[in-house]
Structure 1
Amino acid sequence: MYLTQALHRALQQFPDRLMTVCGDRSRTTREVADRVSRLAASFLGLGVQQGDRVGILALNSDRYHETFFATWWMGGVAHPINTRWSSAEIAYAVADSGTQILLLDDSFADLGPELRERCPGLHTLIHCGDGPTPEGMLSYEEMIAGFDPVPDLRRGGDELAMLLYSGGTTGLPKGVMTSHRSLLTSAFGSMLINRSVWPGSVTLVTAPLFHIAAFCSWYNQSVVGGTLVFLPTFSAEGFLAAVQRHWVTTCILVPVMVQMVCEHPEFHSYDVSSLATITYGGAGSPQSLLQRAMKAFPGAGFTQGYGMTETGVLTVLGREEHRAGGSRLRSAGRATATVEIAVVSPGGRELPPGVVGEIVTRGEHVMCGYWGKPEQTAQAMRDGWMHTGDAGYLDEDGYLYIVDRLKDMIITGGENVYSAEVENAVASHPAVASCAVIGVPDEHWGERVHAVIVLRPGMTSTEQEVRAHAKTLIAGYKAPRSVEFVNELPMSAAGKILKRELRNTRTNRTER
C-alpha cells in the first residue's frame, strides 16, 4: 500500500480528465503526473533522502497537491504546516521535525528569512506562489522545468508518509507520525461508508490541507480519479461561487463554515443544486445549525465525520440517518469499515452501552506515535488502544455519542457537566450565533458553568434570558451560572474553539 497508487490509477484510467483546478489554472491527470515526477526529481537533486521531511507552509492550491505526491514519489515525508500559527509556533514545528526543505507561497514568503534564522537545519526555501520569487529562494516552476521525470520509488506500507502537528488546543503541538498504511486504511474505511465521491465527481477543497479532515477529503477524490477544485481561503461568497462555477458535487465543512454559508445574504442567488454530499465535522455542530443547513441544501445528502489527527476518520453518520432525523442526529455515527472503537473506564475496562467513558480505538488506521516523544506516545497508546481523550458512550446499535473532551468536563457542586450538552442548549437560542461553555473557578461550587457567547448581528440578549432558555432544555445545575458576551471566539485552524485560551484568561474570576 502506497499513497501514490491514486495517481498511477488515475493516470492509467483517466489520463485526460481534469484533475486539478486552482483559480484560472487547470490541469489534466497526465499533466499533473508529469509535473509530480519532475518535482520529485528536483527534490532528489536538492539532496532530499528517503525519510526526510519536506515542509509546506501555504494556502490550499494545486501545487500543494503536487507537493504531496512528489514527496511520496521520491520517498520523503510530507510535513504540512498550520498556516494560522505564529512565526514562533511555525519555527518550533520546523525545528522539532528536522525539516530541511520548506515550500512557501506568496502569503508566507516573508517568513523565509526569520525561519532560516530560527531553524539552523533549514537549508532550502522554495517559493511555490504566483508572484516573483524572493531573493534567496528557489522557484517552484523553474525546478519542475529544470528536471527530467524520475520513476516512483513506491515506498509504502509502514514507512512514514506524513508528519502532522496536532492543533495545539491543549499545549505545545506534537508531531503525529502517520504511515502510508494508516492513511490509506483511514481513507478506504471512510469511503466505504461515506460514498461521497465517484469517477467524475468534483470535490471543493475548502478546509486547510494541513488538517486531517481536509486531507481525507482530498485523497478520497484522488483515489477515484475525480476533479479537485482548490479554494485557497474560505469565504461564504467564494464557496458559493466555486460550487456554482465548477458544478461541485461534494465538500467538507466545519460548523463555522456551515454557519457562514447559511447566513450569507446572497445565498439564494447562487445555484448550489450540484452538491450531492456535504460532510461536516471538526467540531461539535449544534442541532439548530444542522437543521438550518439541511433546509438550505435540500438536494444534498449530509454526512458527519468524527476523528482526530492521530487516527484519521473513526466514525461516520450517513445520509440515511440524517434523512430519518430523530435522536440519531445527536450521534457521531458508527465506526467505519476499518475501525474498531470502544468506550472504557479510567481503569481501562470496556463499558456497557449508555455509560460515559473515554473513547478508544485500535487498528491499522492509528498513528505510529508522536515524533520524538516516546513517553507521550506510551501515554496515548495503552494496552493496544489509542486513547482519544474524548468522553462519550455507545448505544445498543453501535452509534457513538460524544459528550465532551475529558479535559472540558466541568465538575460543579460534585456533579459532572459536559460542556457540549450545555452548548447545544445555549446555541438553540435565536440570538446566539456561537458559544463556548467552560468551567471557571468558583468559591462555592468549585467550578461554575460559564458561557461565552457571540450574538447574531443586530440581535441582543441578556444573561438572564440565556440562563432561562437553557433551563427549559437541560437540568438547572447544568445551565450557565454566568454568561459573557464577546465579539468573537478564539478558533483553531480546524474550526475548533480554543477553550484553553478562554480558560487561561478567566482562571482568576470568582462568582459575583
Structure 2
Amino acid sequence: MYLTQPLHRALQQRPDAPMTVCGERVRTTGQIADRVARLAAALRSLGVVEGDRVGMLALNSDRVHEYFLATWWIGAAAHPINVRWSPAEIAYAVGDSGTEVLLVDDAFAAVVPELRERCPGLRTVVHCGDGPAPEGTVSYEELVRSFEPVPDGRHGGDTLALLLYTGGTTGLPKGVMVSHRGLSASLHGSMLAMRNVDHGGVTLVTAPLFHIAAFCSWYAQLLMGGTVVFLPAFTPAHFLDAVQRHRVTTCILVPLMVQLVCDHPTLADHDVSSLRSITYGGTASSDALLRQAMETFPGAGFTQGYGMTETGVLTVLGRAEHRAGGPRLRSTGRATPTVEIAVLGPDGSPLPPDEVGEIATRGDHVMLGYWGKPQETAQALREGWMHTGDAGRIDEDGYLYVVDRIKDMIITGGENVYSAEVENALASHPAVASCAVVGLPDDRWGERVHAVVVLKPGRTATVEEIQAHSKSLIAGYKTPRSVEFVESLPTSAAGKILKRVLRDSARPDMP
C-alpha cells in the first residue's frame, strides 16, 4: 500500500466534505488534494528527490497534514521533529538525518538562525505559520500558490515513509526508519483490533504528530474517511471545547491527559456525549484512573494500545475487556491480527505462559532499522525478532502484561520489583494524582524502592500513610522505602515519565 491512497479514495467519495479543521480554518477534501499536489511540486522545485528527508518543526495543524501527504507524493520521507527539544537536540536530529529542507511554523521561527549555524547542510527553511515569513525563509502559502499540481508517484512498499527520532529518555535519540509497508501493516492490524474509528467520523488530534501514537490516530481517520480536528497543543480546557464544538467521536490520550480532563473544573459544563471511542496508551494507567475515566465518559468505549516507535501498535485491549473489568484490565491486550509477539528468555527462546522475560515481535510492522546506526540496529533486530527492551509475560490466553522496562526493574535485597506494580498500588490512594517508582542505590539493599508522588489539589498525605497503603496491597519488600512529594512529574513529549530524571534528581540525603 502507498500512504497517499486514502486521499485519492476520499477525493472520489467525499470531495466536498470537510477533511481538516484547524482553528477557524476548514478545508474540504478537494481543497486538500489540490494543495498537496501543489506542495509536492514546490518541494520538488526545492531539490527534494526520492529518498530525501523533509523535516517539519511545528505544532499540530492542517499544514502538518498536507506536509505528510505531499512528502510521500514525491517519494520522500517525512521527518517530523520533537517540538519539546532544545535547539541543540533539534540540530542533532536535522544534522544526523541529513535533512536539507525544513518546514517551521511561527512557534519555532526564532530558532531558525541557530539551526542554520549548527546545521550547515540545511539548505532551505519553509515558513508554514500564519504570520509573515521571516527573513531567510520561504513562504509555505506562496509555494502552494505558485506551483501547478503534479501527479502522485504512488510510492509504497519498503520505501522509507517516516523517520521518527526516539524520545531520547536515555542517551542520544535514534532515528527509527519506518516504511510504507510497515506503517500499513501496523495500522491495519490495530484498526481491526480496536474498531475505534468511524466512517465519516471526527478525530481530535491533541498529542504531537511527531509521536507514533498521534500519527496513527490521525492516519486511521484519514484511512476511514472523515474529518480531523487539530489542536496545536493539549490543554484540558481546549480539549473539552473542541469535543463539544466539533462533535468529536474519537481521540487518543495518554493517561496524564485523561487525568487532567477528568479533574478539570469545567468538565460538567461541556457536552462530551459525541465521544464514541477513547484510546489510551504511552504509559500504564492505574485502575483508579481508568475507573474514573469510564465513569466520566459513559458513552465512550475504551481501548488501550501498546507498542513503540519501532513497531507501531503491537497489542490491543478492546472495549469488551474494558466493560468486563477484572484482572485483565492490567494487561495491554492481545496481539493485533498483523502482529506476532513472544516473551523471550535470556537465551532468546520463547518462555512458557506467565514467565517474565523480554517482549519481542516480528512481522511486516517492524521498523527497517535505525538511521545510520548499524550496531544498534543489529542489537534490536536479531534472530528474526525485534527486541523491545520491555519486560513482560503472556498468559495462557495470549494477554500481554508489561511489567517494566528491563532497565527500570529494581533489585532490592535480591528480589525483583517491577515499578508498574508498585505504581498501581500507590495510584489507588485517594490523595494520589500520579506517581512514579524508581530504584535508588542503597548500601544495605543494593537498591531501594523510591516513590515520587504528586498529590491531588487540596489533598494531603504523609510518607507513612503512603507506605501503609502500599503494604495493604503488595508485599512489604515492594513498598517504597522512601517517598518524595513533588508538584509534577517530568515527562517526554509522548507523555512518558522520564525516570532517568527522577533518579538523577533524587536527594542524596533522602531517607
Instruction: State the TM-score bracket (shorter-chain normalisation).
Output: over 0.9
Name the SS for the 2:213 alignment partner: helix
Output one character per residue of 1:294-323: Cα deviation in whole Å (capped at 9) or x when no partner: 000001000000000000000110000000
Q: Which blocks of at least 5 consecutive residues in structure 2 are unaligned? A: none
Give the Cα–Cα distance (whole angstroms) in 2 for the partners of residues 7 and 401 of structure 1.
37
Matched, 1:130 2:130: yes
TM-fit CA distance, 1:505: 2.5
Give the Cα–Cα distance (whole angstroms) in 2 for the partners of residues 232 and 50 of structure 1.
29
Amino acid at match of 2:454: V
Q: Name the counterpart of 2:385.
A: 385
Output one character per residue of 1:251-273: Cα deviation in whole Å (capped at 9) or x when no partner: 00000100000000110110000
Give the Cα–Cα distance (whole angstroms) in 2 for the partners of residues 511 and 27 of structure 1.
56
Name the SS for the 2:291 alignment partner: helix
Aligned 8 A contact 1:440 1:509 in 2: no
Name the SS for the 1:260 alignment partner: helix
Give the Cα–Cα distance (whole angstroms) in 1 for the partners of residues 433 and 291 of structure 2.
14
Matches within 5 A, 1:318-467: 318-467=318-467
Give the Cα–Cα distance (whole angstroms) in 2 for the partners of residues 287 and 496 of structure 1.
18
Q: Name the counterpart of 2:255.
A: 255
Give the Cα–Cα distance (whole angstroms) in 2 for the partners of residues 96 and 42 of structure 1.
24
Name the SS for the 1:314 alignment partner: strand
Amino acid at match of 2:278: I
Give 4+ residue runs of structure 1 displaced > 3 Å after superposition. Answer: none
Q: Name the counterpart of 1:176.
A: 176
Give the Cα–Cα distance (whole angstroms) in 2 for the partners of residues 505 and 228 of structure 1.
40
Give the Cα–Cα distance (whole angstroms) in 2 for the partners of residues 348 and 300 of structure 1.
40
Aligned 8 A contact 1:442 1:510 in 2: no
Matched, 1:231 2:223: no
Matches within 5 A, 1:237-248: 237-248=237-248
Q: Name the counterpart of 2:508.
A: 509
Give the Cα–Cα distance (whole angstroms) in 1 for the partners of residues 401 and 509 of structure 2.
32
Pick which of 88-97 and 9-18 moved more: 9-18
Q: Name the counterpart of 2:294.
A: 294
TM-fit CA distance, 1:509: 2.7
Amino acid at match of 2:81: I
Amino acid at match of 1:308: M
Pick which of 130-139 and 35-44 moved more: 130-139
Give the Cα–Cα distance (whole angstroms) in 1 for the partners of residues 132 and 147 of structure 2.
21
Q: Name the counterpart of 1:24.
A: 24
TM-fit CA distance, 1:511: 6.5
Aligned 8 A contact 1:441 1:509 in 2: no
TM-fit CA distance, 1:78: 0.1
Give the Cα–Cα distance (whole angstroms) in 2 for the partners of residues 198 and 255 of structure 1.
23
Q: Name the counterpart of 2:86.
A: 86
TM-score normalised by the chain length of structure 2: 0.99
Aligned 8 A contact 2:75 2:159 in 1: no
Give the Cα–Cα distance (whole angstroms) in 1 for the partners of residues 85 and 199 of structure 2.
36
Name the SS for the 2:477 alignment partner: coil
Matches within 5 A, 1:120-269: 120-269=120-269
Give the Cα–Cα distance (whole angstroms) in 2 for the partners of residues 352 and 11 of structure 1.
49
Give the Cα–Cα distance (whole angstroms) in 2 for the partners of residues 357 and 51 of structure 1.
37
Q: Name the counterpart of 1:76.
A: 76
Give the Cα–Cα distance (whole angstroms) in 2 for the partners of residues 198 and 477 of structure 1.
47
Q: Name the counterpart of 2:500.
A: 500
Amino acid at match of 1:18: P
Give the Cα–Cα distance (whole angstroms) in 2 for the partners of residues 511 and 203 of structure 1.
46
Give the Cα–Cα distance (whole angstroms) in 1 for the partners of residues 484 and 282 of structure 2.
25
Name the SS for the 2:264 alignment partner: coil
Q: Name the counterpart of 1:273.
A: 273
Give the Cα–Cα distance (whole angstroms) in 1 for the partners of residues 222 and 465 of structure 2.
49
Quickly say closer, same or farther: Cα 1:329–1:100, change in 2 above 3 A: same
Name the SS for the 1:120 alignment partner: coil
Name the SS for the 1:108 alignment partner: helix
Identity, % of aligned pairs? Answer: 72
Name the SS for the 1:71 alignment partner: helix
Q: Name the counterpart of 2:47.
A: 47
Give the Cα–Cα distance (whole angstroms) in 2 for the partners of residues 338 and 7 of structure 1.
23
Aligned 8 A contact 1:57 1:102 in 2: yes
Quickly say closer, same or farther: Cα 1:511–1:114, change in 2 above 3 A: closer
TM-fit CA distance, 1:17: 1.2
TM-fit CA distance, 1:437: 0.3
Give the Cα–Cα distance (whole angstroms) in 2 for the partners of residues 511 and 148 of structure 1.
65
In the alignment of these two chains, the number of paired residues is: 511
Name the SS for the 1:107 alignment partner: helix
Amino acid at match of 1:249: T
Amino acid at match of 1:509: P
Give the Cα–Cα distance (whole angstroms) in 1 for the partners of residues 228 and 408 of structure 2.
37
Aligned 8 A contact 1:280 1:304 in 2: yes
Give the Cα–Cα distance (whole angstroms) in 1 for the partners of residues 103 and 510 of structure 2.
50
Give the Cα–Cα distance (whole angstroms) in 1 for the partners of residues 244 and 509 of structure 2.
51
Give the Cα–Cα distance (whole angstroms) in 1 for the partners of residues 172 and 75 of structure 2.
28
Give the Cα–Cα distance (whole angstroms) in 2 for the partners of residues 214 and 300 of structure 1.
19
Give the Cα–Cα distance (whole angstroms) in 1 for the partners of residues 145 and 291 of structure 2.
50
Name the SS for the 1:102 alignment partner: strand
Amino acid at match of 1:114: E
Aligned 8 A contact 1:57 1:105 in 2: yes
Matched, 1:9 2:9: yes
Aligned 8 A contact 1:450 1:481 in 2: yes
TM-fit CA distance, 1:198: 2.4
Aligned 8 A contact 1:302 1:322 in 2: yes
Give the Cα–Cα distance (whole angstroms) in 2 for the partners of residues 168 and 255 of structure 1.
20
TM-fit CA distance, 1:427: 1.0
Amino acid at match of 2:479: A
Give the Cα–Cα distance (whole angstroms) in 1 for the partners of residues 284 and 169 of structure 2.
15
Give the Cα–Cα distance (whole angstroms) in 2 for the partners of residues 29 and 233 of structure 1.
24
Q: Name the counterpart of 2:490.
A: 490
Q: Which blocks of at least 5 consecutive residues in structure 1 are unaligned? A: none
TM-score normalised by the chain length of structure 1: 0.99
Name the SS for the 2:34 alignment partner: helix
TM-fit CA distance, 1:93: 0.4
Output one character per residue of 1:32-76: Cα deviation in whole Å (capped at 9) or x when no partner: 000000000000001111110000000000000000000000111
Name the SS for the 1:372 alignment partner: coil
Give the Cα–Cα distance (whole angstroms) in 2 for the partners of residues 203 and 188 of structure 1.
17
Aligned 8 A contact 1:434 1:453 in 2: yes
Give the Cα–Cα distance (whole angstroms) in 2 for the partners of residues 501 and 378 of structure 1.
28
TM-fit CA distance, 1:197: 1.3
